[in-house]
Amino acid sequence: MKHFYCLTVIFLLSTPKNLAQNQQKIDSLLKTLEIAQPDTTKYKTLNNLWYETINNNIDDALTYAEQMIQLGRSSNIDTILSYGYERKAVAYAYLNNFDSSGHYFKKALKMYSINNDKKRMAGIQRNLGQDLNMVGKLDSAYHFYDLAEKNFKAVKDSTGLAGIYNSKAIVYLQKGYYNLALNQAFNSAEISEKFKDSIELVQNQMVIAAIYGEMRDTLNAIKYHEKSLSYFENKKQLRQQFAALNLLAGLYMSNEELRSENEKRIASSLSIAEHLKEPSLIYQAQYRQSQLLARKGNYKEAIQMLQYIIDFNDLKYNPQALSQYSVDLGELQMKIREYSKSKENLVLGLEKAIEIGNLGMQLKANKLLFELNEMLGNSAAGLNYHKQFKMINDSIFNADNRNRFSELQTIYETEKKEAAIALQEEEIKTLNEKAKVDKLTKGLYAGGMASALALFGLSVFGYRQRIKKNRIAREKQEEIYKQEIAHKKKELASQTLHLVQKNTFLEELKENLESLKSSPDKFKMEFRRIVMLLKKEKASDKDWETFKTYFSEVHNDFDQKLKTLYADISEKEIRLAAFLRMNLTTKEIAATLNVLPDSILKSKYRLKKKLGLDKETDLTSFLSSL
């Protein structure tokens, strides 16, 4: 029963809000339509008529949708045309004609995509996912749900996101991933609970109830469904009220003590379906009636009801329902020894189950056909069905194990991703703490060295000015970059400052220490120790590689862009371009690379020539634009 149960929930979620269906209002709109000019007034009238008829007269709704399409074409207004496609698609979906609904949904999606209307794109993508879900194409459905989720996030539509989480929960539910299904449903609940007494909250409760129902947690399932039913009754939303009653009837079906109450529930759902005059709802209610009759042992009445459903309704667009009804009919016919009819219906049900890949229904049909052939003495045919039954049973067992493994793997990967995010946040925190310590250490180091330089008669004013200048540049960059790369930007700024200030400071210090060669012997040991330290601390290739790593992450693979545009560019030229992109001065670059400023000027000239820039084009500005 899992698939039928889930489809009922999908059907509920795919319906628009139930508007008041007032014949007087329809008559008034029709009068307006007669005199309306072919403009937006006529479109609005047609759209209102569509809303008033979609829940009780789909044929009329299809007519109004087609008129919207024709109006959009004749007036050359894309908005009207795309809305017409969308309305027509929904009407076909109500009729379970998913080929046609998918065709018109895709037409609408194409038009919304041209205008980059992300909110409406998301709505269509969700509808396409629901169509695919209804025919059992779960992976394809999930793909469209993913696309819809991205677009809903882009426009910050929390209500749309809540709906997508519900839809994803249903996919996981049908796959048997109950924990993942509950996780998605609770994600939706976190959003929906903000909107008390809302249809979004109740739809979420329906999904949670469905999950508990499949987990055989009947008490929780009933609790959530009864909450939903109460809401729909108060709001007089008949379609949703029907869905809640129908699902509750299924949950109560095996409870003998509450049979009379369940009979009333099924009668109420049938009354609503007949009032709405919608065949798909009527045969769902009648199916519940047939189940109840079979439970009571009234097999002939149950058979008549099922046969009526199959004969009366066009189920060619719903092979899942046809498969289920045919197998159930064949099983009941076996009980009253109508073996020929039983075999015919069981074979039909098996064929449809194979067509849609429903292993559960294939299992049941093969088991019944084995038993039927044994009764008829057809051992050879029975053995074949028994082999199929055994093979499918093993396949389902293995599939269940794979599902459990896949679910655990998905949960593990999700938790791993969440742990990685948490670790990244912790690293950011650590980097911030490290930055504070580094700042303090640098202050102490600078202070100590300043004292030493003071003894040698040197000034640190220029050094401090450079620190201040670079700190201001770093702070400006921190305001520009996005939050998601903030920690990388801090590392880049820190590394840049490190390269510039270290080489500049050490070079100045070395020059002054060189002058001490003629000083008294008491400076000899100190001089050697400091010179060794300077050699050890000179900027290395490792410093450059560290700088390049951070730079590439912040500036979107700047070096790769240069290599793509200018294949013959050298590593040294890329390094120079990176420093220019960081707005470092010629003197700062020279100090970092331990060369003379004239050398940097010449390198800049050669780089500009290689990039094919004219004299008027500023090299730094050009590099910043990449």
What does the pLDDT look like over 105-142, one tens digit per residue?
999 999 999 989 999 999 999 999 988 888 878 888 89
Between 423 and 55, residue with greater pLDDT: 55
Question: What whole-number distance in Å separates Cα of residue 186 and Cα of residue 162?
Answer: 9
Q: What's the pLDDT band for 493 if we cut at 50, 70, 90?
A: low
| Res 290 pLDDT > 70 | yes
Other CB atoms within 10 Å distance of the CB of residue 174: 21
Average pLDDT over residues 429-438: 59
Average pLDDT over residues 474-486: 56
Question: What whole-number distance in Å separates Cα of residue 253 and Cα of residue 328?
Answer: 15
pLDDT at site 582 = 78
Highest mean pLDDT among 31-35, 102-106, 183-187: 102-106
Return the structure tokens found at 317.
Answer: 């667009």
Helix axes 379-455, 461-480, angle to 10 degrees: 160
Q: Residue 350 in contact with residue 369, Cβ under 8 Å?
A: yes
Burial label, 622 (beta-carbon count in 10 A; 0-12, 13-18, 19+): middle
CATH number of 1-113: 1.25.40
Return the structure tokens found at 161.
Answer: 């996101």
In sign, the C-alpha dihedral spanning 63, 66, 71, 77 is positive
pLDDT at site 445 = 44
Q: Residue 131 in contact with residue 105, Cβ under 8 Å?
A: yes
In sign, the C-alpha dihedral spanning 179, 184, 189, 190 is positive
Any idea which of 129-138, 280-289, 318-327, 452-461 has the lowest mean pLDDT?
A: 452-461
241-281 pLDDT per residue, tens: 888 888 888 888 877 777 788 888 889 888 998 888 877 78
In sign, the C-alpha dihedral spanning 422, 204, 56, 30 is negative
H helices present in 515-610, as ranges: 524-537, 541-554, 558-565, 571-581, 586-593, 597-610
556-600 pLDDT per residue, tens: 667 777 887 888 888 888 888 888 887 788 887 887 777 788 888
493 closest CA partner among 533, 438, 541: 438
Average pLDDT over residues 538-548: 54
193 closest CA partner among 157, 226, 158: 158
pLDDT at site 346 = 93
Q: What's the pLDDT band for 452 if we cut at 50, 70, 90?
A: very low
DSSP, residue by residue, 444-475? HHHHHHHHHHHHTT---HHHHHHHHHHHHHHH
pLDDT at site 512 = 59
373-388 pLDDT per residue, tens: 989 888 888 888 988 8
| Res 398 pLDDT > 60 | no
Q: In sequence order, what are the residues at sequence separation of 6 or more whose Cβ sits closer than 8 angstroms to the Cβ of residue 96? A: 134, 280, 317, 318
Question: What whole-number distance in Å separates Cα of residue 406 and Cα of residue 402?
Answer: 6
| Res 457 pLDDT > 70 | no
Any idea which of 86-90, 96-100, 252-256, 306-310 has the lowest mean pLDDT?
A: 252-256
DSSP, residue by residue, 347-402? HHHHHHHHHHT-HHHHHHHHHHHHHHHHHTT-HHHHHHHHHHHHHHHHHHHHHHHH
| Res 148 pLDDT > 90 | yes
265 closest CA partner among 281, 245, 286: 245
Q: Residue for token digits 């049938």?
A: 270
Question: What whole-number distance in Å separates Cα of residue 148 and Cα of residue 144?
Answer: 6
Q: In sequence order, what are the residues at sequence separation of 6 or more whose Cβ sits closer than 8 angstroms to the Cβ of residue 21? A: 52, 53, 55, 56
Question: What whole-number distance in Å separates Cα of residue 566 and Cα of residue 606?
Answer: 14
Q: Residue 332 in contact with residue 300, Cβ under 8 Å?
A: no
Q: Residue 158 in contact with residue 122, Cβ under 8 Å?
A: no
Q: Residue for token digits 């003379």?
A: 596
pLDDT at site 535 = 54
| Res 530 pLDDT > 70 | no
| Res 414 pLDDT > 60 | no
Between 515 and 141, residue with greater pLDDT: 141
Q: Residue 548 in contact with residue 558, Cβ under 8 Å?
A: no
| Res 495 pLDDT > 60 | no
pLDDT at site 369 = 92
Q: In sequence order, what are the residues at sequence separation of 6 or more whose Cβ sits closer than 8 angstroms to the Cβ of residue 622? A: 611, 613
372 closest CA partner among 414, 343, 409, 350: 343
pLDDT at site 547 = 61
Helix axes 379-455, 178-192, angle to 10 degrees: 60
Average pLDDT over residues 64-77: 90
Provide the whole-model pTM. Answer: 0.46
* H and E: helices and strands count for the chain: 29, 0
Q: Which helix (H) or strand (E) holds 477?
A: helix 461-480
Average pLDDT over residues 336-346: 93
CA 618-621-626 angle, to 5 degrees, is 125
In sign, the C-alpha dihedral spanning 84, 86, 87, 88 is positive
Every domain of the chain with CATH number 1.25.40 lies at 1-113
* Mean of the per-residue pLDDT values of the chain: 76
Return the structure tokens found at 259.
Answer: 């049979």
Between 352 and 317, residue with greater pLDDT: 352
DSSP, res 278: -
Question: What whole-number distance in Å separates Cα of residue 326 and Cα of residue 365?
Answer: 9
**Chain centroid to CA 424:** 22
Q: Which helix (H) or strand (E) holds 5?
A: helix 2-13
Other CB atoms within 10 Å distance of the CB of residue 494: 18
Return the structure tokens found at 239.
Answer: 């379609």
Question: What whole-number distance in Å separates Cα of residue 210 and Cα of residue 130?
Answer: 16
Q: What's the pLDDT band for 175 if we cut at 50, 70, 90?
A: confident
User: For residues 250-268, b (16+ Cβ closer than 10 Å) or e, as one string?
Assistant: bbbbeeeeeeeebbebbeb
Average pLDDT over residues 178-183: 82
SS3 45: helix
Give phi and psi for 98, each to the nearest 5: -75, -20
Q: Residue 279 in contact with residue 313, Cβ under 8 Å?
A: yes
Encoded amino acid at 476, one letter: K
